[in-house]
Amino acid sequence: MNNPVCPETGAPMYRGVRPMTLTYKGESLTFDMPGWYCDQSEESIHTGEDMKISDRKLNLLKARSEKLLEPDEIRRVRKKLHLSQEEAGLLIGGGPRAFQKYESGDLLPSRAISSALVLLDHDPAALSVLKAHRKAA
């Protein structure tokens, strides 16, 4: 996007970062949001890449509110289990690209996936049950 103008004032907009606060079920999260901003109004324009940041922060806020595992915890448990992202998706659920999306914050894990990871974090040996079940299928 090259030199956009403010839709409200017609003034030039500048690339920058400003604080943004999201609220979900009474919990709030403030973060730095990149975008094009107008110095003469409150208008802003955000690219698709900018929106990925706010989407990921909203998913983080939802995970906290719903008591689901957050991306860093999902990654930690998967690595503890010595699984690649693809293996985790095939064994635990969600498909071959699911853990890539969970760990980046692009997708919230289901309650079932989150619960399975909590159990496997507590008892990593239980992974053998999932592996045996997958072989039998």
Domains within the chain, CATH numbers bracketed? 13-66 (3.10.20.860), 71-136 (1.10.260.40)
pTM higher than 0.75 for the full model?
Answer: yes
The CA distance from 97 to 5, in Å, is 39
Decide if pLDDT at 124 tops 80: yes
Decide if pLDDT at 137 tops 80: no
**Residue 29, pLDDT score:** 96
Decide if pLDDT at 7 tops 80: yes
Helix (H/G/I), strand (E/B), else coil: 118? helix
Decide if pLDDT at 5 tops 90: yes
Q: Comparing 134 with 57, which gets the higher pLDDT?
A: 57
Decide if pLDDT at 2 tops 90: no
Question: 46-58, pLDDT tens digit by residue?
Answer: 999 999 999 999 9
Question: 87-109, pLDDT tens digit by residue?
Answer: 999 999 999 999 999 999 999 99
**Residue 134, pLDDT score:** 85
**Residue 3, pLDDT score:** 84
> What is the DSSP code string of 59-96?
HHHHHHHHTPPPHHHHHHHHHHTT--HHHHHHHTSS-T
